[in-house]
Amino acid sequence: MSVFKGSGVALVTPMKDNEEIDFDALEELIEDQIKNGTDALVVCGTSGEAPTLDDPEHLEAIRFAVQVTKGRIPVVAGTGSNNTAHAVMMSEESEKLGADALLLVTPYYNKATQDGLYQHYRKIASATKLPCIVYNVPSRTGTNILPVTMARLAADQPNIAAIKEATGNISQVAKLARLLDGKIDIYSGNDDQIVPLCSLGGVGVISVLANVAPRQTHDLVMHCLEGRYEEARAIQLRALPLIEQLFIEVNPIPVKAALNMQGFRVGKPRLPLTELTPAHKESLRRAMEEFGCL
């Protein structure tokens, strides 16, 4: 039940000055991503500011992305929550809207035991026929879904299709790959670890970098998947200064600034996120110029 192989962009949600979603700008972003080789769209995730979207606009953004994409590449809908019932509802609605897969972040703030995580994901996945991608990002959620729990889910729930691994812990990824043994896909959730994760059997990335460098991110992953690790490593290392700048403040603050620099009208983040500081804008601009995406 593989969703995609390659580069999935963790797409930002463009905002107008009045903070409404700018659907014209969103269409422009989607078309640019498809034109430049992106292999999947991930909408209404962390980079898409899902925590500040109310349910109707969250679902409308998913519906719109499906409509614009027209099946050319998969649309992965971010529907995770720390409220299992809410995640079930958003997942069911996203399936009705035509999403191709779901991205489900681990419960945050209230946390959960490993058995709680197992039951949370089984409850959501059982409510839909869509492939589900578990999103493990302890730096944001305070919860780490352990490899043994993922192996249990992969064995017991057929539509658990993949994990977005953003622990930053390559040893954990290696253990995960050993336990999963190819049963589900592993995506990198960290742009600076695409090559090492693919070398352990990963099949792609869900990427912030791809917002501003879609072609290069796609090519980096394809080089890995086709065994051209010299070429992949060259792109990975050259991209590191830009990746660092894209996280100089909390995501998606810098990537929205970067897209605005490129001429896309994505606006500023919603509070509590703020605009990138002037000093960081300058260092981000330099990194973009050096990488060749500005």
Which residues, in sequence order, are bridge partners of residue 40?
8
Out of 118, 121, 164, 187, the active site residue is 164
Sole residue written with tokens 């890995």 = 224
Out of 118, 121, 135, 187, the active site residue is 135
Alpha helices (H) in 114-213, listed in sequence order: 114-126, 138-141, 147-156, 170-180, 194-199
| 164 belongs to the catalytic site | yes
Q: How far apart are CA 80 and CA 102, in angstroms?
A: 8
* Residue 141 backbone class (left: φ over 0; alpha: ψ -120 to 50; beta: rest): alpha
Residues 6+ apart with CB under 8 A from 177: 186, 200, 201, 202
Among residues 203, 279, 287, 274, the alpha carbon closest in space to that of 243 is found at 287
Instruction: Note whether 40 and 205 are within 8 A (CB).
Output: no
List, by residue number, the catalytic residues.
135, 164
